[in-house]
Structure 1
Amino acid sequence: MTGSDAAVPAFRAAVVGGSLGGLAAAHELRSIGAEVAVYERSVGRTEPRGAGIVMQPEVASLLARLDRTVPSVSVQLMERQQLHRGSQPTRHYAPQWMSAWGTLYEALRAPLGDVCMRLDSTLTDLRVGADDVTAEFGDGYTTTADLVVGADGIGSATRRILTGRDDLQYSGYVAFRGLEPESTLPGHLRDLLAERFTSFAVPGMQMLCYLVPGERGATERRVNWVWYVNTAAERLPGLLTGKSGHRFDFFLPPGELDAESREALMELVDRTLPEPFAALVRLSAVFMQPVFDLPPTGMVGDRVLLLGDAAGTVRPHTASGTSKALGDAAELADALGGWRRDEPFPRDRLQAWEADRLGHLRAVADVGVRLAARSSLGVDAPAFL
């Protein structure tokens, strides 16, 4: 390859969605010579839709190629412990690495400093031509690329435009969450939770807690917890309405629980949780995500591709949402490797990628539903809220 050839991008890609899956897609496509731009609907930094992330091989692999080690973005836990109401915790040795959304976001975002990343860009339309596709955004901005990658999550505008459908289904339970600096907790809680993956479960309810890196890395750790609670569908509008009266779609930010919802939650805390977990919830700025299912859809359209949650969801119990998106992106780069924009579009290779990744998605999604059912989490079980 000559110097002039090397300066010409293999193809142009517009990535819709600037969260972890979109950043991974940008890295993977750049690695095969693409010119990439990322379009994110958030006005500021992408808002975290979760907190703790279990380290998985797909995440570790991308980090390694970015010259980052797992310990540099993670906290190592050594034990698992189960809490009980009225008796002592039970424990066993189980080492594991835990990271956080914000930590991984910074690790993936920083190396893309020279990539065009346009915020406040809500996708409104896609127009496919013979050899390219034009994306239009809510402020009237348009861009034309050789392909568009929709990595815009569970509420994907790319998917709705591509399929004309929105098949989200409420699972029957929500995830209340908290993320607090370890240093702000009382000593007895810090000692109980340090270096341990801690859990509590009764039918229709499950709570998990573990340490993750803080804003300055693993030297300033945070306590991440998630509490799954069977919740009636008719309660969702109230829970998703913040103190300001704003109605959120998929994520209630920290501190936005209104007085009525917080009172109901605290009553449930006092009635059901072991005291250490009850104390932790009381000390936290609670945020909330309903758990939705999105059945697998096609991932390949006319020069428009879907990955991560935009293509279908897995339940959070699988700890695979982030790793699935990063795996989609890595294998997409493998499928497109060697292709140049002046050549016929590699539809056969992309359809093989789609078949492989949809098979993986269906398998992991089935596991997640089974794990939820084991804890009686879902639409067929009694609701606590």
Structure 2
Amino acid sequence: MNPRTELQALIIGGSVGGLAAAHEMRSVGAEVAVYERSAGRMEARGAGIVMQPEVEALLVRLGMSAQSVSVELRERQQLDPAGRTTRYAAPQLMTSWDTLYRALRDPLSGVCYRLDSALRRVRVEGSEVTAEFADGYTARGNFLVGADGLGSATRRLLNPAALPAYAGYVAWRGLEQESALPRELLELLVGRFTFFGSDGLQMLCYVVPGPDGELGEGARRVNWVWYTNVPESGLPRLLAGRSGTTFTTFLPPGQLVPEIAAELVATGEASLPPQFAELVRCSEVFMQPVFDVRPHQMVADHAALIGDAAGTVRPHTAAGTSKAFGDAATLAAALRGWTPDQDLPAGRLAVWEGERLSHLLALSRAGIELADRSSLGTADGRRFFASA
């Protein structure tokens, strides 16, 4: 029996980075299968996403425009502590995790997309890669793409020393229906990117598409994120959910306990402009601690890491999603023309790894510098929500 000559790619991680990888690998002739560790509906952990060129390029290739999945902003405005505004023109497109996920997932309806697939082991034998999952399922292909994010199982298997390190601050988040918020707030926020910063905190807000991608006025959502310094010793208290589960990297919507919710509102009233304090009061809050994964390695034998699995960038760069998309597009280009009956194109992959690691390191440094400007994650920055 002759060996198969078409490339079969196993994509580990079914969020937007994994979906981008699936599209890019298909564009160079690969058969793809996507394996996602979540057992059910995936949480929209990023909420709002700034539209970037790498994302737009893939959408256009798939027959969509950036405008069709985005809300257009016309201005930026900075609030002072009393809520007074300074504005300037700054056109920008904003989308959301769930809108982008749907835009990428729908064209892959005929592709294997398997949920509840927690990776446990990877084996390479010749040109064949075998992925073994916690439920006993086994998948075989010729190249494995680890796009499984911050808590990447692929990274742990390929490079166990590359562990996430807490950056010293958290991101409180809200994603509220436009129609549910007070009219005065909407008059301030709609059509604008709004932000505020002071020692040890930073908050920003903008409008994104509705839960089903709606772009009409009243059907969209107001997305906000509020960064505050929190000592590492205070994290377990904040990550203890209503359900009794103590989370590690993400406190989902509906899990904030009443005690912390009250403390959050009080902290907002004491430290935020009044409009932002009101927005926090009106919201069902969720939370993500900010972690750093230092870039080290992106390529192993018949495998590669992309996006946060390879290394993180701070959220202030607005480049986490676009970096994953760029990783996926350039990885596929490096593998273009390769078939399993040939030697792996190690030279092209080494060039890809070098270029993407340089890009990742530059973004990582830029993100840390942006955080430092608001004393986020710094030793001397004001801290909040310390352990009781």
TM range (shorter): over 0.9
- How far does residue 259 in structure 1 lie from its aligned partner after superposition? 2.1
DSSP 3-state at the match of 2:215: strand
Normalised to the residue count of structure 2, the TM-score between the two structures is 0.96
Contact 1:15 1:36 in 2 (8 A): yes
The equivalent of 1:146 in structure 2 is 142
The residue type equivalent to 2:241 in the other structure is: G
The residue type equivalent to 1:116 in the other structure is: C
Contact 1:76 1:98 in 2 (8 A): yes
The equivalent of 1:297 in structure 2 is 296
Contact 1:9 1:35 in 2 (8 A): no
The equivalent of 1:53 in structure 2 is 49
DSSP 3-state at the match of 1:59: helix
The residue type equivalent to 2:36 in the other structure is: E
Structure 1 residues 9 and 78: CA distance shift in structure 2, 3 A: farther
The equivalent of 1:218 in structure 2 is 215
- How far does residue 87 in structure 1 lie from its aligned partner after superposition? 5.3
Structure 1 residues 264 and 145: CA distance shift in structure 2, 3 A: same
Give distance in 1, aligned partners of 2:5 and 2:125.
20
The equivalent of 1:5 in structure 2 is none
Give distance in 1, aligned partners of 2:143 and 2:190.
46
Trace 1:180-199 onto structure 2 (pairs within 5 A). Answer: 180-199=176-195
Contact 1:9 1:33 in 2 (8 A): no
Contact 2:250 2:288 in 1 (8 A): yes
Give distance in 2, aligned partners of 1:315 and 1:202.
18
DSSP 3-state at the match of 2:188: helix
Trace 1:162-177 onto structure 2 (pairs within 5 A). Answer: 162-177=158-173
- How far does residue 291 in structure 1 lie from its aligned partner after superposition? 0.5
Trace 1:272-287 onto structure 2 (pairs within 5 A). Answer: 272-287=271-286
Contact 2:239 2:246 in 1 (8 A): yes
DSSP 3-state at the match of 1:296: coil
Give distance in 2, aligned partners of 1:87 and 1:291.
27
The equivalent of 2:35 in structure 1 is 39
Contact 1:17 1:150 in 2 (8 A): yes
The equivalent of 2:263 in structure 1 is 264
Structure 1 residues 155 and 87: CA distance shift in structure 2, 3 A: closer
- How far does residue 9 in structure 1 lie from its aligned partner after superposition? 6.4
Give distance in 1, aligned partners of 2:257 and 2:310.
33
Give distance in 2, aligned partners of 1:338 and 1:152.
25
Q: Please say which of residues 126-135 and 78-87 is displaced more in the overlay.
A: 78-87
In the TM superposition, what whole-angstrom CA distance separates every residue of 1:146-173 from its partner, at most 9, and x where no partner exists? 0111000000000001112242111110
Sequence identity percentage: 58
- How far does residue 270 in structure 1 lie from its aligned partner after superposition? 1.5
The equivalent of 1:329 in structure 2 is 328
Contact 1:9 1:34 in 2 (8 A): no
The residue type equivalent to 2:9 in the other structure is: A
User: Is 2:25 aligned against 1:29?
Assistant: yes
In the TM superposition, what whole-angstrom CA distance separates every residue of 1:241-294 from its partner, at most 9, and x where no partner exists? 101110112110012111222122122011111111111111111000000010
Give distance in 2, aligned partners of 1:98 and 1:186.
22
The equivalent of 1:113 in structure 2 is 109
DSSP 3-state at the match of 1:229: strand
The residue type equivalent to 1:363 in the other structure is: A
Give distance in 1, aligned partners of 2:175 and 2:368.
26
The residue type equivalent to 2:64 in the other structure is: R
The equivalent of 1:382 in structure 2 is 382
The equivalent of 1:360 in structure 2 is 359
DSSP 3-state at the match of 2:299: coil
- How far does residue 382 in structure 1 lie from its aligned partner after superposition? 2.7
- How far does residue 332 in structure 1 lie from its aligned partner after superposition? 0.5
- How far does residue 379 in structure 1 lie from its aligned partner after superposition? 3.7
Q: Please say which of residues 317-326 and 338-347 is displaced more in the overlay.
A: 338-347
DSSP 3-state at the match of 1:218: coil
The equivalent of 1:203 in structure 2 is 199
Structure 1 residues 341 and 246: CA distance shift in structure 2, 3 A: same
In the TM superposition, what whole-angstrom CA distance separates every residue of 1:327-372 from its partner, at most 9, and x where no partner exists? 0000001100011111111111111110010000000110000000
Give distance in 1, aligned partners of 2:90 and 2:160.
45
User: Is 2:331 aligned against 1:350?
Assistant: no
The residue type equivalent to 2:269 in the other structure is: D
The residue type equivalent to 2:383 in the other structure is: A
Q: 2:10 aligns with which of 4, 14, 17?
A: 14
Give distance in 1, aligned partners of 2:43 and 2:52.
22
The equivalent of 1:229 in structure 2 is 228
In the TM superposition, what whole-angstrom CA distance separates every residue of 1:201-223 from its partner, at most 9, and x where no partner exists? 11110000000011232122100
Give distance in 1, aligned partners of 2:368 and 2:315.
10
The equivalent of 2:69 in structure 1 is 73
Q: 2:97 aligns with which of 96, 101, 112?
A: 101
The equivalent of 1:178 in structure 2 is 174
Contact 2:18 2:147 in 1 (8 A): yes
Structure 2: which 5+ runs fail to align? none
DSSP 3-state at the match of 1:106: helix
DSSP 3-state at the match of 1:164: coil
Q: What is the root-mean-square deviation in Å for CA atoms of aligned residues?
A: 1.1
Contact 1:122 1:138 in 2 (8 A): yes
Structure 1: which 5+ runs fail to align? 1-7
Normalised to the residue count of structure 1, the TM-score between the two structures is 0.96
Contact 1:40 1:46 in 2 (8 A): no
DSSP 3-state at the match of 2:340: coil
DSSP 3-state at the match of 1:214: coil
Contact 2:5 2:341 in 1 (8 A): no
Give distance in 1, aligned partners of 2:320 and 2:107.
22
Give distance in 1, aligned partners of 2:118 and 2:127.
24
Give distance in 2, aligned partners of 1:377 and 1:213.
29
